Amino acid sequence: MNLSDPAVDISLFSLPIGKKDIFLNEKPLVLEIGFGEGEFLINAARSDGSRNYLGLEVKRGRFRKAVRTAEALSLQNLKFLHIEAEIALRQVFRERMFDLVLVNFPDPWPKKKHSKHRMFNQELISCLAKVLTGGGRTVIKTDQLSYIEQIVSEFERSGLFRSTYPPPGFIEAQAGETETKFEKHFREASQKIFSAGFLNLPSQTG
């Protein structure tokens, strides 16, 4: 496997795969679900060589653009997978693999009749608990107040995570050094951005 190739071909491995299969080392691993065009992960990987970064994206055009950008940088701590998140979490990754999972601005499906399509449900949260280390975290950002409230409710109902923030379980996020394109757009439009964090409970480590 070419270490400088940012695109991971899972057909080359026996599933499930682990850290060493992808990066050939055991550095702390950060996963971003739905990385868009990859700007957040690329900037993070460039600025922090102490951790490895892996991104999932289902939209082929965005995936290809991120890969092209990353190829020019030859970052050995950054990889991308073109795959649906739920499939990857359930079938592709080994348990206790990730130290941090990031979900930046998931599709809110704001219409009530479409809310069933929202990403965070009990099945997905259970999968997150399995692939995160004991004490690993999931961090989510959205500009939709009703969505962050629903996300907090789902994580609390699961019993698998503890919120890292006091009630109501989320905060208004401040501008950071590494932002997504969506976040920059929302901030320029003076929209509020909400962030929630969830700690994987040690009892889930088995």
Question: DSSP labels for the chain?
Answer: --TT--B--GGGSPSSB-HHHHHSS---EEEEES-TTSHHHHHHHHH-TTSEEEEEE--HHHHHHHHHHHHTTT-TTEEEEES-HHHIIIIIBPTT-EEEEEEES-----SGGGGGG-S--HHHHHHHHHHEEEEEEEEEEES-HHHHHHHHHHHHHHSSEEESS-TTS-EEPPP-SS--HHHHHHHHTT---EEEEEEEPGGGG-
Q: What is the pLDDT along the chain (206 residues), one digit of tens a residue?
A: 566 689 999 999 999 999 999 999 999 999 999 999 999 999 999 999 999 999 999 999 999 999 999 999 999 999 999 999 999 999 999 999 999 999 999 987 566 655 666 789 999 999 999 999 999 999 999 999 999 999 999 999 999 999 999 999 999 987 765 566 666 665 566 688 999 999 999 764 44
pLDDT of residue 205: 43
pLDDT for 187 equals: 57
Q: What is the pLDDT of residue 206?
A: 45
Note whether 138 and 78 are same-domain residues.
no
pLDDT value of position 189: 62
Residues 51 and 120 in one domain: no
Query: Are 176 and 119 in contact, with CB atoms under 8 Å apart?
Result: no
Q: Are residues 89 and 104 in the same domain?
A: no
pTM, two decimal places: 0.90
126 and 64 share a domain?
A: no
Domain that holds residue 188: 99-206
Last residue of a domain, one of 94, 125, 141: 94
Out of 5, 48, 107, 143, pick the active-site residue: 107
* Residue at which a domain ends, from 65, 94, 123: 94
Q: Indicate whether 81 and 114 sit together in one domain.
A: no
Same domain, 197 and 158: yes
Q: Are residues 39 and 12 in the same domain?
A: yes
- Residue 76 shares a structural domain with residue 38: yes
Question: Going by DSSP bridges, is the β-strand pair 29-33/161-163 parallel, antiparallel, or unpaired?
Answer: unpaired
107 is an active site residue: yes
Q: What is the CATH number of the domain that holds 133?
A: 3.40.50.150
- Cα angle 149, 89, 157 (rounded to 5 degrees) comes to 30
What is the total count of domains within the chain? Answer: 2
166 and 196 both lie in a single domain: yes
Q: Are residues 104 and 87 in the same domain?
A: no
Domain boundary among 45, 79, 94: 94
Given a contact cutoff of 8 angstroms between Cβ atoms, the answer to whether 62 and 36 are in contact is yes
Q: Kindly state whether residues 114 and 48 are assigned to the same domain.
A: no
Residues 130 and 204 in one domain: yes
- Tell me the percentage of the chain whose pLDDT exceeds 70: 84
